[in-house]
Amino acid sequence: MPDPVAQVEGARRMIKDRNTVWHHATVSRSRREEKNRHRSVVLWFTGLSGAGKSTLAHAVEAELYRFDCRTLVLDGDNIRHGLCSDLGFSIHDRSENIRRIGEVAKLFIEAGVIAMAAFISPLRADRERARSLFPHGDFIEIYCQASLEVCERRDVKDMYRRARAGEIKEFTGISSPYEAPENPELVVNTGGSPLSDCVGQIVDFLRQRNILPLEMR
């Protein structure tokens, strides 16, 4: 059976071979960053379902908004309502989902935005492929660390119970693997630390990397 991911990659190569050339914008990324008064980066939140990725991403965005930063959260559920509504949850579909998100995040980087991608993104290879789209230092992997037990206790969507009952197939952490990051830029204890502490940890990190405007240093 053909590999769907390989087929997608092959199609991309064919398009590039037909004299497709990247058009460089007149208004460059650096000019947008200068106007925004902050650098553009991707904050890639990864972790189990229920680890607090979306909650943390939106809380970080709210904090950055106070300082007039240009931001956008790419949320896993929201993306699957539109851009990735044609994908399921097989390993191949998950890989394609992350490939598309990586490409979207790349566009927002060019727009001078701090893009926050909150996705389980269970496989290291998929996250590394997303990282490879960006210059060094522009992709910040944030591991939202929470044990399976904590995530199951939270289970506000009743997903873990249904997965253990066999009602949901290929559910990460139960019937499908999750590969925790080996060398993330940041590990945040979302399973045990208060949300405000987690937000503060990320904002401090962004200060140290000189990503945020002078007012926040």
Please write the tens of the pLDDT for every residue from 120-157.
Answer: 999 999 999 999 999 999 999 999 999 999 999 998 88
Scan for tokens 């944030």, then name that residue.
142
The residue annotated as part of the active site, out of 121, 175, 176, 193, is 121
pLDDT of residue 91: 85
Written as one letter, the residue type at 59 is A
Is 176 annotated as catalytic? no
Query: In the chain, where does DSSP find H-type helix?
Result: 4-17, 29-36, 53-65, 76-79, 91-110, 124-131, 148-154, 159-164, 195-208
Higher pLDDT, 10 or 202: 202
Does 61 score more than 60 pLDDT? yes
Displacement of CA 43 from its chain's centroid (Å):
6
* Closest by CA position to 90, among listed 171, 2, 3: 171
Question: Which tokens hold the place of 126?
Answer: 């998929």
Query: What pTM was computed for the model?
Result: 0.86
Does 186 score more than 70 pLDDT? yes
Question: Which tokens hold the place of 24?
Answer: 């460089």
Q: Find out whether 174 and 160 touch, Cβ atoms under 8 Å.
A: yes
pLDDT of residue 11: 57
Q: What is the pLDDT of residues 81-123, one digit of tens each?
A: 887 888 888 889 889 989 999 999 999 999 999 999 999 999 9
Q: Give me the mean pLDDT over the 168-172 stretch.
A: 89
Alpha-carbon span 140 to 75, nearest angstrom: 16
pLDDT band at 217, cuts 50/70/90? low
Q: Give me the mean pLDDT over the 186-206 stretch.
A: 97
pLDDT of residue 107: 94
38-216: CATH, from 3.30.365.10, 3.40.605.10, 3.40.50.1980, 3.40.50.300:
3.40.50.300
Written as one letter, the residue type at 73 is V
Question: Which tokens hold the place of 208?
Answer: 């140290």
Q: Return the domain boundaries, the chain.
A: 38-216
Of 6-15, 111-120, 145-154, 159-168, which range is least confident?
6-15
Alpha-carbon span 106 to 108, nearest angstrom: 5
Q: Find out whether 130 and 44 touch, Cβ atoms under 8 Å.
A: yes
| CA angle (19 as vertex; 13, 23 as ends), nearest 5 | 100
Query: Can you tell me whether residue 53 is helix, strand or coil?
Result: helix
pLDDT of residue 87: 86
Query: What phi and psi values does residue 181 have, to the nearest 5 degrees?
Result: -60, 145
Of 17-31, 98-112, 116-130, 167-181, which range is least confident?
17-31
> Could you count the other beta carbons within 10 Å of the beta carbon of residue 90?
13
